Structure 1
């Protein structure tokens, strides 16, 4: 498999994961997929999305990836404040999203630093 093919796969996985997370976040009554707290679901989703973003866009600065994904989390919370969706806007959901994003970014930055190919 070529480098470009691997990037394409990671980018497709990113698009699927992001679409799935946004869809589940905006459904009025999303199905329960796993029996864990809402914050853990947010953190798992955004950690996965961040990993796909880092792998799909390896030359993009890590802080830019973190900023953009955190903004997506904030936009989801704003969208959940729409009364017709029957969802609750919770700033702590966005905090959980951002914490997961930063955790992944920090781990990737450490790995890149150790490998001497850091891209911030």
Structure 2
């Protein structure tokens, strides 16, 4: 949905940053389960670069989307928080 010219409206009309945070928190959580032995930094960099790529693609005029570096920051922050929680949780087990 990140690169659709006219994405569907989500129920409740959540804030754009909240959508980014939820999406990338979910990706970080799924990534940490799918690749439990992957380095923290590898997942962080990979997902952060994916967020940056989305913002670059959204800058294409034909898509009629807004590219916002703060969206990329929200993506990356969500990934960091989730990966830190997963790391802390695994250390406790």
* Normalised TM-score (structure 2): 0.95
Shift, 1:29, TM fit: 0.7
Compare the two structures and name the one with the higher helix fraction: 1
Gaps of 5+ in 1: 1-23, 116-120
Query: Residue 53 of structure 2 corresponds to which residue in structure 1?
Result: 75
1-structure distance, mates of 2:21, 2:9: 16
> How many aligned positions are there?
92
Gaps of 5+ in 2: none
- The CA deviation string for residues 58-96 of structure 1, in whole angstroms up to 9 with x for no partner, is 111121101100000000000000000000110000000
User: Rg larger in 1 or in 2?
Assistant: 1
> Runs ≥4 in structure 1, deviation > 3 angstroms?
none
Instruction: Say whether residues 1:27 and 2:28 are aligned partners.
Output: no
* SS of corresponding position for 1:33: coil
2-structure distance, mates of 1:31, 1:77: 18
Shift, 1:110, TM fit: 0.8
